[in-house]
Amino acid sequence: MNWVRGPSLGSGTFATVDLAIHTQHSVNFPSLTAVKSAYAYNSYYLLNEKHILDRLGSSPFIVKCFGHDQTLENGVKFYNIFLEYAAGGTLSDQLKNHGGKFPETLVRRYTKSIVKGLKHIHENGFVHCDLKLQNILVFDDDNIKISDFGLSKAKGLKLCENWECRGTPMFMSPESVNDNVYESPTDIWALGCTVVEMVTGKSAWNVGDNDNIWSLFVRIGIGEELPLIPNELSDEGKDFLEKCFVKDHLKRWNAEMLLKHPFIFEDDETISSSSSDSGESDDEIIFTISDNQLRFSFNGLFQF
């Protein structure tokens, strides 16, 4: 495979993303892809992402993986996977370009595509575990696809015997915080948080500068407090969020049910134009508590 590493497109907790320019024509590869790279010795999450994308197969709502390889660069071995290049960046980027809020007509359209992607993921036996605007890519004609499956897992698979949290704290569900449960309803809760952010430009949880991650987890997992449901959202939108923000994950609506909800059930062209029109990337966290030891990778957002 002949390719050249181009400009940086971004970076995350476990990998970097660059533009890959393919110098040899191939029917299997476009001329430009996004290459996601990790040190070969620390490539578990990238290998996991490649495995899950292969299992998910083709979907218009899931980012496509074209292949993988290993490279030796400046004496360091890297593991790389090649993904569709999204010229529009992420939904988080687009939100900033729209002045921090999307009009509800666009929120409905994006939400419908996200739910269709989740339906495909769940029906194929997986849970995304880290759904958020930064992990949704924007392609031509405003088409969007779910990406970043490094933290994803098979449905029904227990993570470990110890307490392990994964994902982005602001999007974690009560069952994840309380019981270390990551199943399909976990993604639906995160979907609700994502919709709130599209509508308001703010997190679904009002967190102050002096708050910390533990106080957020208490709010998510204990008591009856729910994420913010924006007043500017239509009644259909508010009801949609209420179906996502059900504390009992066994009673939360699933993706198939949500696709029939009037907030997104209509064809994009028939969504009423009278619907209400209406910053920094959150950091991922994964940590394990075992034998009184805490291991985590987390930057910003919260103070410890």
Which residues are catalytic, by number? 130
SS3 36: strand
Q: Among 273, 190, 187, 185, which Cα is nearest to 234's?
A: 273
Residues 6 or more apart whose CB falls under 8 angstroms from that of 32 comprise: 19, 20, 21, 22, 85
On whether the CB atoms of residues 177 and 165 are closer than 8 A, the answer is: yes
On whether the CB atoms of residues 110 and 55 are closer than 8 A, the answer is: no
Q: What is the largest CA-CA distance in the chain?
A: 59
On whether the CB atoms of residues 52 and 43 are closer than 8 A, the answer is: no
Q: Among 30, 122, 131, 39, which Cα is nearest to 83's?
A: 30
Is 73 buried (19+), middle (13-18) or exposed (0-12) by CB count in 10 A?
A: exposed
SS3 34: strand
Name the H helices within the chain.
44-56, 91-97, 104-123, 174-179, 184-200, 213-221, 235-244, 255-258, 262-265
The two tokens of residue 101 are 């809020």
Is 176 buried (19+), middle (13-18) or exposed (0-12) by CB count in 10 A?
A: buried
